[in-house]
Amino acid sequence: MIRDIVIYPDKRLRKVSKDITEFDEKLHTLLNDMYETMIAKEGIGLAAIQIGIEKNILLINLADEDGKQEKEDLLEAINPKITHLEGNETYQEGCLSVPGYYEDVQRAQNITVEYFDRYGTKIVRNLEGLLAIAMQHEIDHLKGHLFIEKLSYLKRKKFEKEWKKRLKAGK
Ligand code: QAP
Ligand code: CO
């Protein structure tokens, strides 16, 4: 089932999500709904709070070398934790909860992340490139943070002004 995306400045996006304790059918249905929603909205990453569910779950599905977004490349992470951050990288980010807005954001270049898959198996991975960026972006959602909070003061002011204008115009 495709769910509605929670759009900025909805307060739910500031909630701190909670850990999953049961790796059951209900979790699998939620993961499937998240995937369906992410694909329908043309996203490459989605956190559960973006469909209003305060749970520590995220999805990342990047395009492969051929530019194709294949389901076999889908990364499902439950209760993810970053245990190591290294280096610095800038990437122009966007977010399904802030549609139509893209801006450069600085993050770590390489990270180590620990999480569980849908069956409760623990995974430890070193990530780099866009996967490392996406993981940091999505884990920020689980902590109640958005990429726009990482903008400079002036860029944030400009964003807020444009966003208010857009909301007034009803877009
Ligand atoms: C997070 O972002 C991310 O504005 C995922 O109109 C960001 O899927 C990962 C999207 C940067 C890696 C690098 C945004 C779709 C999707 C929009 C997304 C829009 C339609 C964003
Ligand atoms: Co996002």
Is the Cβ–Cβ distance between 63 and 44 less than 8 Å? yes
Q: Which residues are in the CB-under-5-Å shell of ion ligand 2? A: 95
pLDDT at 23: 98
**Total Cβ atoms within 10 A of residue 92:** 9
CB 125 within 8 A of CB 113: yes
43 lines ligand 1 (CB under 6 A): yes
pTM of the shown model: 0.98
* Dist CA 51 CA 92 (whole Å): 23
Of the listed ligands, the closest to the CA of 98 is 1
Sequence spans of domains, the chain: 11-169
Ligand nearest to the CA of 102: 1
pLDDT digits (tens, 9 = 90+) for 91-145: 999 999 999 999 999 999 999 999 999 999 999 999 999 999 999 999 999 999 9
Q: Which CATH architecture has domain 11-169?
A: Alpha-Beta Complex (3.90)
Question: What was the pLDDT predicted at 40?
Answer: 98
**Digit-coded pLDDT (tens) for 24-39:** 999 999 999 999 999 9
